[in-house]
Amino acid sequence: MSIHPSAIVSPGAVVPASCTVGPFSTIGPEVVLGESCMLISHVVLDGRTRIGARNVFHPFCAVGVAPQDLKYGGEPTQTEIGNSNTIREYVTISRGTVGGGGLTRLGSGNLLMASVHIGHDSLVGSHCILANAATLAGHVVIEDYATVGAFSPVHQHCIVGQYAFIGGGTIVTQDVLPFSLTSSRRENKAFGINKIGLARRGFSPERLQILQKAFRLLLAAKMNTTQALEKIKQLDGDDVALLASFLARSERGVIK
């Protein structure tokens, strides 16, 4: 096992021999690490935190730390992280709160760039990119393959749908449509589907065509969201069904 002499690993922590713990890192007593994780240096892992395999933690990130919530009283809440995530410098991930479900979760294959914050009780899926200083305020859901641009704050209880792309500097106060390209110029708007990103993910021209038809109904037709939803339900395909389901369950409304 490679543990630098300046690192502090608390009794009770589970650190497999395949892990590397770099200088001045600290691992709390209730942390469980998976195989082949790397803590480069000055990493803090705290709380009831369960971490999968092959995660890389860059200097000065803090994971599983107490939530920034004045109601938090030290309750034994949790943080869960999947496999093969890259967590860059100064990232902070707060553990859950009792009132919010008690769990903050990050899936697998994510890239969290420098200074990202994942607030308490947030649920981030897999294969997501959170660019520099993207901020999840707490109770936020980021679904699989979504991208949150740099310096974009996401309001509490918002949902960012699958494959969505949020441009840098966008203030997100409502749910973000799956598959959409959403950005802020003078005001937040969805500009249609994230065509380039979806193509890179292997979406066929036929799938893109059906999604474009659905988004035209939602964004360009002279219908309200309820009317557009009824028309969208008449289209075929799993992607359109996912979009319709997202619209139906949105509580904060969606950015159109």
Residues labelled as active-site residues = 120-121, 138
Beta bridge partners of 2: 20
Phi, psi of 162 (to 5 degrees): -55, 140
If you count them, how many residues does the chain have? 256
Distance CA 90, CA 92 (A): 6
Tokens representing 194?
């994230």
Cβ atoms 97, 121 nearer than 8 A = yes
Which residues, other chains included, contact 36 with Cβ-Cβ below 8 Å and sequence gap of 6+? 16, 18, 19, 53, 54
Distance CA 256, CA 251 (A): 14
Tell me the CB-side half-sphere exposure of residue 107, using CA atoms within 13 A. 16
Distance CA 198, CA 165 (A): 10
Distance CA 158, CA 138 (A): 9
Distance CA 118, CA 72 (A): 16
Distance CA 46, CA 63 (A): 6
Tokens representing 164?
């969505």
